[in-house]
Amino acid sequence: MSSALEEEIGARTAALVPKWTGASLDAGPGDVECERGYILHWAEATENANLLYWDEGVAQDVTGGWIAPPSMLSVWMRPLMFNPNAREQVRPLEMHFRLKDAFDLPEGIVTGNEIVFGVPVRPGDMIATKQTVTEIGDVRTNRLGTGRPWTIDVTYTNQRDEVVAVESYRMFCYVRNAS
């Protein structure tokens, strides 16, 4: 049985579902290029001892030079928190936040994530993203609150237009349960 909140959210967002499903945003290149300092900070934070990130000889032999850990992918799309040259404040995974605003669902969590990798990211690369809404699900309630799930696919390309990866984010955005 649907709750009153489920029915209210369903009614006010029903027309938005077809409007936003398939919507796409070309977010362009990120604010930062891949460089060794970021890679070392990541390896430090995740206690990643893989010699590909610590020994240049091994990196040269195995991967043809330094690469970034594949799991760093989202690092390259996140905008700087301060940038005096930015024309407008862009949020990381901007399409997700536009959906949250449009659906007026103020809270959100990532419930799942899948990545298919292409060419490696290397120091000096600038990574651009295109974000596409592939699915918006029915209203549901869980222990966090009441809202809708949605899926956004992000295609990452380098400055040579090579596909670095395609990442699929599954989100749940919601209004918190009354306590």
Q: In this structure, which amino acid lies at residue 155? A: T
Strands (E), the chain: 24-29, 107-117, 128-136, 140-141, 145-157, 163-176
| Residue with smaller CB distance to other proteins, 5 or 32 | 32
Counting residues that bind other proteins (by CB under 8 A) gives 35
Burial of residue 178 (number of CB atoms within 10 Å: 0-12, 13-18, 19+) = exposed
Q: Which stretch binds other proteins (CB under 8 A): 9-17, 59-67, 124-132, 150-158?
A: 59-67
Q: Report the alpha-carbon distance of residue 164 to residue 30 in Å, rounded.
A: 14
Q: Is 78 in the site for other proteins (CB under 8 A)?
A: yes
Q: Do residues 155 and 130 touch, judged by C-beta distance below 8 A? A: yes
**Mask for 101-140, x = binds other proteins (CB under 8 A):** ------x--xxxxxxxxxxx--------------------
Q: Which residues bind other proteins (CB under 8 A)?
A: 32, 38, 41-42, 44-47, 62-64, 71-75, 78, 81, 92, 107, 110-120, 144-145, 167, 176
